[in-house]
Amino acid sequence: MKVFFCLLATLLAFQTSAEVVDRIVAIVNSEPLTLSDIQKEKSALKNKGLVNDLLFQIYDKDDLLKSDKKLLQYLIDEKTIDSEVKKNGFQVTIERVEKEINQVAKQNGLSRSQFKEALARQGVSMAEYQSFIKKGLERKSLIDKEVNSRIRISDEDVAAYYLSKKGPGSTQVFELTLAHIFFTPQKGGEKEAKERAQAVYKKLQSGQAFGKMAEQYSEDPGFTNGGLLGSFKATELSPAIKKGVTGLGEGKYSRPVVTPQGVHIFKVVKKTLVSDPELEANKEQIRNQLHQEAFSRQLRAWLDQKRSEAFVRINS
């Protein structure tokens, strides 16, 4: 009889110990979270197991491994999402799940059977992986509808961000249509070319028409009507020319400008404000960055709202 009581005491002690190890630490809308759930998720994070990365936008993986409290909050957020999936009736078909699995296998250069074997080596059955993929797709469908679809990053948002990083005046440049009157140093050298340019400049100041002066005095061998050169972004101009035409409005002309080719008097025929080429080149990268930042903020706000509407109890 004494042996029986000892055995019973041992069994009761074991049972009590098991309950402590796997006690319920939180409840989310009647769904329990246990201590073993936390340990299982921590193991998956540490050993690169099956972990849905949707919430890694707002949680740091290293922090989750270091803090059980943060890991519990992470799991509560996942449970909250799953409750919303169920409430909104999001369901992914087995065909969609299989398509996703086949894509993952293909990305890893594996056939279906090879992929199945690779999962088995990690202790994961195909049924478990199908369930994992199904849940992930359903969560993504919900978040796309509730969060992603409401994010709009405008060109103005992109330009404002670029401006904040580059400073005022960096988001836009002018495209200039230029004409010129050209004086070549091949006729008597640069000094005489400057003198001829200065004489024509005075005629312009007296009211003579630029086009007429160009036809009479331009020494450009490739002269076109009115001395038209073409259209250029300000960033494409040489420093000397850019300096000479900066600040000129449409119809205005410059003082004589010296370049390696000779001496010019430029006229701004047309002046149009256009986007900075650097901004254009990086626009989509900036837009994606702003979208990710907005997604993180709005996902956190959405989860906080849903958690406030849900029944969440954390056991001390």
Domain boundaries, the chain: 23-88, 90-146, 154-170+276-305, 172-275
The predicted-structure confidence for 16-74, as pLDDT tens digits, reads as follows 444 445 899 999 999 999 999 999 999 999 988 899 999 999 999 999 999 999 999 99
Is the overall model pTM greater than 0.75, yes or no?
Answer: no
Q: Which residues pair with 231 in a beta bridge?
A: 177
| Residue ranges in the chain modelled with pLDDT below 70 | 1-21, 167-172
pLDDT of residue 9: 35
Identify the CA nearest to 227 among candidates 207, 204, 194, 199.
204
pLDDT of residue 5: 31
- Type of residue found at 3: V
- Cβ(175)–Cβ(144) below 8 Å: no
Q: What is the dihedral of CA 103, 109, 115, 119, to 10 degrees?
A: -100
pLDDT of residue 15: 41
Identify the CA nearest to 194 among candidates 258, 251, 139.
258
Query: Which string of b and e fits 240-264 if b means at least 16 CB within 10 Å?
Result: ebeebbeebeeeebbebbbeeebbb
pLDDT of residue 304: 97
Region label for 32, one of left (φ > 0), alpha (ψ between -120 and 50) or beta (otherwise):
beta
Please check whether the domain covering 172-275 is classified as CATH 3.10.50.40: yes
